[in-house]
Amino acid sequence: MRWVGRTMVLMLRGARPLMATSPSTRVMCRQSLQGYSTISLPPDISFDELKDKMANKEVTVIDVRMPKELREDGMIPESKNLALPWLGPAILQPETDFASQLGFNKPGLDEPIVVSCLAGVRARTAQLALMAAGYANVRVYVGSFEDWIQQGGKVDFLPPKEKQED
């Protein structure tokens, strides 16, 4: 299939009505979806549910923003930083390499993970990447850090780094 200059296009449930606005696109969508399976995503997580799960140590929160953003803007307390550009290579590393390079233990494939970013867009991309790598329980904190602040959540900052670019 070739669509919008791409050889492979993934369509998420809920995106099809937006794509099916012109007659030619409707036909292409129907044809392209034949023989393909859809992916069902776990439900997104709210501020209150996330706060409860964090208090009970039931979830690992991974912030996929760049370290510079976490130093300047802040982050959800106890969240782990794994920037989206490095997510793919990092999750394929052995557990010992992962921990030594990133400073936290690699989550197990069945462990509950919540991904966040600034507003939730990069978090959705991270969710799809983690699920493609075999992680089964990955949820997105929609609104992410912006919602966390708006809801009055506590904010931590990554310590400053000297002489190193992000």
pLDDT digits over 42-87, tens only? 999 999 999 999 999 999 999 999 999 999 999 999 999 999 999 9
Q: Report the 3 state secondary structure along 22-46.
A: CHHHHHHHHHHHCCCCCCCCCCCEC
The CATH class of the 47-150 domain is alpha beta
Residue 3 near residue 28, CB atoms below 8 Å: yes
Specify the pTM.
0.76
Do the Cβ atoms of 81 and 70 come closer than 8 Å? yes
CA dist 164 and 67 (Å) reads 11
| pLDDT tens string 75-118 | 999 999 999 999 999 999 999 999 999 999 999 999 999 999 99
Cβ–Cβ under 8 Å, residues 139 and 40: no
In the chain, what are the domain boundaries? 1-40, 47-150
For residues 75 and 18, which has the higher predicted lDDT (pLDDT)?
75
The dihedral built from the CA positions of residue 30, 31, 36 and 42, taken in this order, carries a sign that is negative
Cα–Cα nearest to 146, from 123, 120, 164, 125:
120
